[in-house]
Amino acid sequence: MIYFQNVGKRYKKTWALQPMSETLQAGTILALSGPNGAGKSTILNLLTRSIRPTVGTIQMDTTSVAFMPDDFEFEAVWTVQETYVYLTAMQGEEADPSILERVGLFEHRNKKISMLSKGMRQRLLLAQALVTRPSVLLLDEPTNGLDPSWMNMLSLLLREEAERGCTIVLSTHQLDIASQLANEIWWLDQGIVQEKIVVTDASVAYDRLSHHFLHQS
């Protein structure tokens, strides 16, 4: 579980995230949605502890947290396998080939990074995030560059991780992605969680997000 206790982040006089108190249950897939500057990245950065809150505290029932960034500067001449081994070793883990299988890169393991599409680089970043079998998985715009078939595979993979108890927090500015991947959505605007949407019907959730997008501050 993740507990936000009156957590806020301010830069000088501007609140990037207004103080909030929320609880995320284990196994939740949470999508952070909203316009640029809404506070999505601030929440992710607070959870990765790359920044500290100005007020309040965040408590997690685990120290096993993994992060998938939006992009990363890989060594272009390395292969997928070499890069995967390096990134997993940096985390003190063995390079489990079954994870490359899960993200559809095992058959491409000998390709050089320079030959990969944006979507394939995204999948490699996801593989290194999964290697620790984290209890909390943080994803920054994880669908950038993914084609529709891999969007479906990502959805299945995230649900598998959630079923084993992993709490997943992802940011996206794409309303359809938020409504398809998540079972809870926080719509943010100007650093405020304007609405929490429990997703029971993806089309209804999409309509709620569209309403916010059209009437944002």
Copy the structure tokens of residue 81.
């396998």
Q: Give the pLDDT confidence score for residue 217 in this predicted structure.
A: 59
Q: What percent of the chain has pLDDT over 70?
A: 100
The domains of the chain, with CATH numbers, are: 1-64+135-217 (3.40.50.300), 72-133 (no CATH)
What pTM was estimated for this model as a whole? Answer: 0.92
217: Cβ contacts below 8 Å, ≥ 6 apart: 189, 190
pLDDT tens readout for residues 66-99: 999 887 788 899 999 999 999 999 999 989 999 9
Q: Are 32 and 180 in contact (CB under 8 A)?
A: no
Nearest to 124 by CA among 138, 137, 134, 109: 109
Structure confidence at residue 149 as a pLDDT band (50, 70, 90): confident
